[in-house]
Amino acid sequence: MDPSSPILRNSYWVLRHGRSIPNEKGLVVSSLENGTLEKYGLASEGFNQARLAGELFLKEVEETNILPENVQICYSPFSRTTDTAKTVANVLGIPFEGSQCKALIEFRERYFGPLFELHSHEKYSEIWALDEKDPFMPPEGGESVADVASRIALGLAAIETEFQGFTVLVVSHGDTLQILQTVLNAVKELEPSKEGDIVSRIKQVAVPCILSKHRKFALETGELRQVI
């Protein structure tokens, strides 16, 4: 656990999934129903990116003397993130079906709504413009930035309840990880004296002036980053 982060019992890394078939097709695939279909998993380049990310993460783990059994991989149940997490687990020598790898639905892709689902990813710019204007306003039938922040908080709370002193790798999606980094970085700035669990602390920082800036934490496909 990071001693500079007393509000959390574990340290956190994030990894955006490798380049996926939806990326190559230029499609928005954000619903749980579509995202878990095998046909929307990783592209061949994405598997290579996941392997390289796994090797980089393994190097970080070894250099900081983290025991392999103290690594936990938590991933979105979408096919592209499951493929990525499985590839990383193989690099680390962690059994993917074992207790150190866990799918958490709270870390699924942000649902952009029926007007965007299976349409061109060029429409993302419309959503992000809406986010900057009002991160509490969802695209029609979809999730707002604030909605995603709320469920991320629940996912983190579940991890914090179950584990202590672990290095947690969250394998997820672009918007989800941008929002996760946004709220965790804001939580780090809270006064240490403030009370409350991770859910209440994220609620404190889930305000428009913070959530509207989530794009500054954008990750490329296959990009690994330490958060806290």
Per-residue pLDDT tens for 32-44? Answer: 999 999 999 999 9
- What pLDDT, on a 0 to 100 scale, did the predictor assign at position 195? 64
- What pLDDT, on a 0 to 100 scale, did the predictor assign at position 1? 36
- What pLDDT, on a 0 to 100 scale, did the predictor assign at position 3? 41
Q: List the chain residues with pLDDT less than 50.
A: 1-5
Residue 118 · residue 29 · CB < 8 Å: yes
What integer best gives the mean pLDDT of the chain?
A: 94
Burial code (b: 16+ CB inside 10 Å, e: under 16) for 39-58 equals ebbbbeebbebbbbbbebbb
Tens digit of each residue's pLDDT (9 = 90 or more) over 175-219 = 999 999 999 999 988 876 566 789 999 999 999 999 999 999 999
- What pLDDT, on a 0 to 100 scale, did the predictor assign at position 194? 60
- What pLDDT, on a 0 to 100 scale, did the predictor assign at position 166? 97
- What pLDDT, on a 0 to 100 scale, did the predictor assign at position 2? 42
- What pLDDT, on a 0 to 100 scale, did the predictor assign at position 64? 94
Cβ-proximal residues to 47 (8 Å cutoff; 6+ apart), any chain: 18, 83, 87
- What pLDDT, on a 0 to 100 scale, did the predictor assign at position 191? 72
Quote the tokens at residue 48.
Answer: 């290579």
The whole model's pTM is what?
0.95
